[in-house]
Structure 1
Amino acid sequence: MAMAAVAPEERIGAHLKRAEQALLAAKSAACKPAAVTVPQYTALLWLAEKPGISAAGLARLCGVTPPTMNTVLKNLQERGLVQRTPHELHGNVLETRLTDAGRTAMELADSGAVRVERALAAAFTGEERELLIRLLGRCAAALDVQR
């Protein structure tokens, strides 16, 4: 059997994945009091910023596929957290907006998510945070070229 060219503990992707898993677990716990998942929270957060956005536009902002976003929105709509209405000019496009209950859920989940983000940021100095953001940007750019 051939030896791996790069030892598993030296693979940057493994460390990125571990950090992503830890972040997702922390945010999942933070969103639990609002009874929403992290993808639902992310959609609610963007809807608060961009009311009336289409599902396709929201999918792009949230980094998921349109079918995945449609499932997220269907679940949120069934719970009364969002409302979807036909666009006045483009009837086949549904505009999505938060309901009052959706805004309340988003705010509760966001307070927990902000605590997670602040705790994460506090683990680094200002210089380290700036460097980490730049390095992660370089990771994304290097991987985008590989597609």
Structure 2
Amino acid sequence: MTTLPASERLGFHLKRAEQALNATKNAVLKPAGVTVAQYAALLHLAENPGISAAALARLCGVTPPTMNTVLKNLQDRGLIERTPHEWHKNVLETRLTGEGRTVMADADARAVRVERALAAEFTDEERDTLVTLLGRCVDLLERERN
């Protein structure tokens, strides 16, 4: 059996970067009163009013049960409202409330500062290269899964 040290595994480095990004975003979002998962849901709801929970889960990269928990917490806080779809009564449409838009704006400003700081660490060419390389990683991993 061939082994590969963790330091030589690209997946290890990708995971470390993801964990650092999530930990930083959780820290900066805390004063806004939301988690990274809640912020992601609010962000996608702002861009896709009326989206279903299943579609929102796909956009946020979480399972439907996890998204239902996120949405329940947001609804309990009055940040979203869920109403039956006009034709598909078993589908709930989800939208931000006025308070949800306010919290989203605060959280987004905080998250954008993290994204801008991260982007500022790279030249334009390095950012383009990084995005291209990460895209190649995603493409290969999606092919391997199938």
TM-score by length of 1: 0.95
Name the counterpart of 1:67.
Answer: 65
Percentage of matched positions with identical amino acids? 70
Q: One-letter code of the match for 2:85?
A: H
Quote the RMSD (CA, aligned, Å).
Answer: 1.0
Which blocks of at least 5 consecutive residues in structure 1 are unaligned?
Answer: none
Which structure has more relative contact order (CA 8 Å, sep 6+)? It is 1
> 2:142 aligned with 1:106, yes or no?
no
Name the counterpart of 2:10.
Answer: 12
Which blocks of at least 5 consecutive residues in structure 2 are unaligned?
Answer: none
Contact 1:33–1:108 (8 Å) recurs in 2: no
How far did residue 5 of structure 1 move?
Answer: 2.5
**Matched ranges for 1:86-105 at <5 A:** 86-105=84-103
Task: Please state whether the residue corresponding to 2:95 is helix, strand or coil.
Answer: strand
Runs of 4 or more above 4 Å deviation = none
**Rounded Cα–Cα distance in structure 1 between residues aligned with 2:97 and 2:28:** 21
Q: Deviations along 1:81-128, whole A, 9 cap, x unmatched?
A: 000000111110000000011111111110010000000000000000
**Rounded Cα–Cα distance in structure 1 between residues aligned with 2:104 and 2:30:** 11
**Matched ranges for 1:20-99 at <5 A:** 20-99=18-97
Task: Please state whether the residue corresponding to 1:97 is helix, strand or coil.
Answer: strand
Name the counterpart of 1:135.
Answer: 133
**Rounded Cα–Cα distance in structure 1 between residues aligned with 2:144 and 2:3:** 19
Contact 1:44–1:98 (8 Å) recurs in 2: yes
**Rounded Cα–Cα distance in structure 2 between residues aligned with 1:8 and 1:58:** 34
Name the counterpart of 1:144.
Answer: 142
Q: One-letter code of the match for 1:21?
A: Q
**Rounded Cα–Cα distance in structure 1 between residues aligned with 2:46 and 2:3:** 47
